[in-house]
Chains A and B, each alone.
Chain A
Amino acid sequence: MKGFLLGVALVAALFVANGLFTGSLVPGVSISPYILQVICLAGINVILAVSLNLINGFTGQFSIGHAGFMAIGAYASAYVSVTFGPRLREGLAFLPEFGRDSVVLLLALTVGAILAAIAGFLVGVPSLRLRGDYLAIVTLGFGEIIRVFILNIDAVGGARGFSGISKLANFFWIYLFAAASIFVVSRIVRSSFGRTLIAIREDEIAAEAMGVDTTRSKVISFVVSSAMAGIGGGLFGHYLMYLHTNSFTFIKSIEIIIMIVIGGLGSITGSVLGAVLYITLTEGLRQFAQYRMVLFSLLLIIIMIVRPQGILGHREFWYFLRRRRRIDAPVGPPVES
C-alpha cells in the first residue's frame, strides 16, 4: 500500500514538474528549452546506464554493445508509431489528446523493448559463453552489426535517417521510465536471482558449483538489460523526433560504459550519478569547444587513478550516509571459535 502511494506521488510529482518545466502549468513559469533537453537526455542516459550496470556491474560480464540494443528499440518503436500511430489515433478518437499520445507511445515502446529483448537473447546465448575480453569484442561486433543492418533498411530511412517521428516522449515519460528501470534493477539485484548474478561476478566456477545455472542467469540479465536499453532508445527517438544510425555507434556504447565506470560498477545510485555527471560535464565543457574532449579524458584518467572502483564503488549512496553515523559505535573483531 505504501509502495502504491509512493508510486502515485511520483507520477503526480513528475506530471507537475513536466508542466512547470514546459510552461504549460503556470503561464510564464518554465525553464529554457536547452536546459530541459539536457535534463531529458540525462534521464535517457540514466535508463541506459542503470540497465547496462545489470550486466557489467552486477553480473560482471563486460558488454560493449549496448548502443545496438538501444538502436533496435529506437527504430522499432519509431516505426510502430509512424506506421500505425495515425490509424490508432483515429480509433482512439474518444480519448483526449494526452491519452492518445500515451497509448501510441506505450505501444511503440513495448514493441521496441520486446524486439531489443529478442535481439539480446540471440546475441547473448552464443556470446555469454565467452569471458572477459572475448565477450567485450563479440558484443562490440554485434552492436556494430545491428547498426549497419539498420542502416541498410530502407523502410526506416536507411542512410537518410528516420524522420517524421512525432514528439510523444517528454520529461514526464522519460523520468517515469528512468524511475521504473531503477526500481526493476534494484529489485532484481536484491533477490535470490540477483544473488546468483553477483555470485557469477565474484567467482563463476564457484557459482556453477553451488548449483547456479550460470548460462541461464547471464542470459536473463542480458535480455532484461537489452529490453531496458530498447525502451531508452524508444524514448530517445520520440524525444528528438529524428533517428540516424550515427547516434548508435560503438562510441555511444563506450559513453554508457564511462557513465557506469565513473559512478561505480555494481551501484545503481552510482550509475544514476555517473549518467548525470557525464552529461553535465559534456554540456558544461561545451564552451571550451576544442579542448572539451581533452579535459574530459583528463578527468577520466584522474578518476581512474584516484578512485579506480568509481565514485561509489560497489556501494549504494546510502551506505556512506549510514557509515558516517555508525562510526563511533564499537566494532568488535570477527568472532573466532
Chain B
Amino acid sequence: MALLELSNVTMRFGGLVAVKELDLALEPGQLYGLIGPNGAGKTTVFNVITGVYAPTAGRIAFQGKPIAGERSGRITRRGIARTFQNIRLFGDMTVLENVKVAFHCRQRATLSSAVLRTPVHYREEARVDRESRERLKIFHLDGVAEEKALNLPYGSQRRLEIARAMATSPKVLLLDEPAAGMNPHEARELMDLIRWVRDHFGMAVLLVEHNMKVVMGICETVHVLDYGATIAVGKPAEIQSNPEVIEAYLGGA
C-alpha cells in the first residue's frame, strides 16, 4: 500500500479543469517529481493534497485513510507538510521562532501550563528550542537564528521554509519550487540537502520544480502534467526522451 495515494482526483474551478483524473502513488522514502509547463496544475495538486481545496471528485488516501476535504492543519498533523511557491514565512518572527511554530503541533503544551509556567512548560520549551536549533543547523541557518525571517536573503528564506516544514515531523514533504530564484550553485546544494534530508529522516518527498537539473538529478520517478492531465510517468531518463513530454514543453511541430 502506498503512503500517499491519489486516485482519479479531479479539481474543477467553474468551467476550468485544473486537475483531471489524477492518479499518483507515493511510496515511503520515495523522491517523486511533479513537472509540467506553467499552468499545468502542479500547485493545485499540492493544494488539494494539503486541504486548501477539497477535490471536486476522486479519493486521496494517506496511510490508507481518506483525507480529502479535511482542514489543512489536520492534514499537517497527520504527517503531510509543505512549502509554498511564493514564500510564506512569518516575516516579523525570528528564524528560530518560525521553526518553533511548526513544532507546536507535536508539543504537549497547554495554555494553563504557559500561564502558570509549570515544569512541563519549561521542559517543553527547552526541548523545542534544542530541536529547533538542530534543524536550523542542518539547513545552515543557525547563524541567523535571531534574525527576522523577512530580513533573510532569498535563498535562505527558501531553506527556512523547508526547515519549518520539516519541524512538523512529516512523513510526506511537499516542496513547491524550492529552487526557484536560486543560482546554479545554490540549486546544487539544495539538491544534496533534499537528498540528505530524505535519507536521514526517511520521509517521502513530492517535488514540484521547473529547474530540470534538480528534478532529473534527484527524483526517482517523474510525473508530467499538461493542462491538468497526466501525460507521462516514469524514470527521469524515460521522461527526457518521451516525445509527448517534449511536445508539451517545446510545442508540437
Bind each other: yes
Chain A interface residues toward B at CB < 8 A: 3, 184, 187-188, 191-196, 198-199, 201-203, 205-214, 220, 224, 314, 334-337
- In contact, A188 and B114 (Cβ under 8 angstroms): yes
Q: Identify whether the interface residues of B are mostly helix, strand, loop, or mixed.
A: helix
- Which residues of chain B come closer than 8 Å to A203, judged between CB atoms? 88-91
- Which residues of chain A come closer than 8 Å to B72, judged between CB atoms? 205, 208-209
Chain A nearest Cβ from B222, distance in angstroms: 25
Chain A nearest Cβ from B39, distance in angstroms: 21
- Which residues of chain A come closer than 8 Å to B102, judged between CB atoms? 210-211
Q: Which listed residue, B84, B92, B111, B128, touches A193 by the CB 8 Å rule?
A: B111
- In contact, B76 and A334 (Cβ under 8 angstroms): no
- In contact, A314 and B92 (Cβ under 8 angstroms): yes
Task: State whether A334 and B147 are in contact (beta carbons under 8 Å apart), knowing that A192-B104, A199-B90, A202-B93 are contacts in the complex.
Answer: yes
Q: Which listed residue, A187, A196, A224, touches B101 by the CB 8 Å rule?
A: A196
- In contact, B84 and A206 (Cβ under 8 angstroms): yes
- In contact, A198 and B71 (Cβ under 8 angstroms): no
- In contact, A213 and B73 (Cβ under 8 angstroms): yes
Instruction: Please report which residues of chain B, range 78-99, place their CB below 8 angstroms from some CB of chain A when the two chains form the complex.
Output: 81-82, 84, 88-93, 97
A205 to B53, CA, bound (A): 12
- In contact, B100 and A192 (Cβ under 8 angstroms): yes
- In contact, B111 and A220 (Cβ under 8 angstroms): yes
A211 to B104, CA, bound (A): 8
- Which residues of chain A come closer than 8 Å to B125, judged between CB atoms? 191-192
A75 to B100, CA, bound (A): 41
- In contact, A192 and B88 (Cβ under 8 angstroms): no
A203 to B103, CA, bound (A): 16
Task: State whether A202 and B92 are in contact (beta carbons under 8 Å apart), knowing that A195-B104, A210-B102, A335-B144 are contacts in the complex.
Answer: yes
- In contact, A334 and B92 (Cβ under 8 angstroms): no
Q: Which residue of B lies closest to A187 (CB)?
A: B115
- Which residues of chain A come closer than 8 Å to B121, judged between CB atoms? 191
A184 to B89, CA, bound (A): 27
The 6 closest A-B pairs by CB, nearest first: A211-B105, A191-B114, A335-B143, A211-B76, A202-B90, A206-B88
Task: State whether A198 and B92 are in contact (beta carbons under 8 Å apart), knowing that A211-B73, A336-B153 are contacts in the complex.
Answer: yes
- In contact, A191 and B101 (Cβ under 8 angstroms): no
Chain B nearest Cβ from A316, distance in angstroms: 14
- Which residues of chain A come closer than 8 Å to B144, judged between CB atoms? 334-335
- In contact, B117 and A187 (Cβ under 8 angstroms): yes
- In contact, A214 and B92 (Cβ under 8 angstroms): no
- Which residues of chain A come closer than 8 Å to B89, judged between CB atoms? 202-203, 206
A334 to B151, CA, bound (A): 9
- In contact, A196 and B104 (Cβ under 8 angstroms): yes
- In contact, A334 and B104 (Cβ under 8 angstroms): no
Q: Which residue of A lies closest to B128 (CB)?
A: A192
Q: Which residue of A lies closest to B168 (CB)?
A: A211
B216 at the interface (CB under 8 A from A): no
Chain B nearest Cβ from A234, distance in angstroms: 20
- In contact, B104 and A212 (Cβ under 8 angstroms): yes
B20 at the interface (CB under 8 A from A): no
Chain B nearest Cβ from A46, distance in angstroms: 18
B152 at the interface (CB under 8 A from A): yes
B77 at the interface (CB under 8 A from A): yes
A336 to B125, CA, bound (A): 28
Chain A nearest Cβ from B159, distance in angstroms: 10
- Which residues of chain B come closer than 8 Å to A207, judged between CB atoms? 90, 101
Chain B nearest Cβ from A190, distance in angstroms: 8
- Which residues of chain A come closer than 8 Å to B77, judged between CB atoms? 211
- In contact, A209 and B143 (Cβ under 8 angstroms): no
- In contact, B101 and A210 (Cβ under 8 angstroms): yes
- In contact, B156 and A192 (Cβ under 8 angstroms): no
- In contact, A206 and B143 (Cβ under 8 angstroms): no
Q: Which residue of B lies closest to A221 (CB)?
A: B111
- In contact, B115 and A210 (Cβ under 8 angstroms): no
- Which residues of chain A come closer than 8 Å to B73, judged between CB atoms? 208-209, 211-214
- In contact, B101 and A195 (Cβ under 8 angstroms): yes
Instruction: Please report which residues of chain B, range 114-144, place their CB below 8 angstroms from some CB of chain A when the two chains form the complex.
Output: 114-115, 117, 121, 124-125, 128, 140, 143-144
Chain A nearest Cβ from B192, distance in angstroms: 13
A212 to B74, CA, bound (A): 8
Most chain B CB within 10 A, of A201, A211, A314, is at A211
- Which residues of chain A come closer than 8 Å to B88, judged between CB atoms? 203, 205-206, 209
A195 to B167, CA, bound (A): 14
Task: State whether A192 and B124 are in contact (beta carbons under 8 Å apart), knowing that A187-B117, A210-B164 are contacts in the complex.
Answer: yes
Chain B nearest Cβ from A98, distance in angstroms: 28
- In contact, B92 and A209 (Cβ under 8 angstroms): no
- Which residues of chain A come closer than 8 Å to B155, judged between CB atoms? 336
19 contacts between A and B (CB under 8 A): A3-B117, A184-B115, A187-B114, A188-B111, A191-B111, A191-B114, A192-B104, A192-B114, A192-B124, A193-B109, A195-B101, A199-B93, A202-B93, A208-B73, A209-B84, A209-B88, A211-B102, A314-B92, A334-B156
A207 to B104, CA, bound (A): 10
Most chain A CB within 10 A, of B52, B81, B114, is at B114
- Which residues of chain B come closer than 8 Å to A192, judged between CB atoms? 100, 103-104, 107, 109, 114, 124-125, 128
- Which residues of chain B come closer than 8 Å to A188, judged between CB atoms? 111, 114-115
- Which residues of chain B come closer than 8 Å to A194, judged between CB atoms? 114
Q: Which listed residue, B90, B111, B147, touches A198 by the CB 8 Å rule?
A: B90
A335 to B143, CA, bound (A): 6
Task: State whether A209 and B109 are in contact (beta carbons under 8 Å apart), knowing that A203-B90, A336-B156 are contacts in the complex.
Answer: no
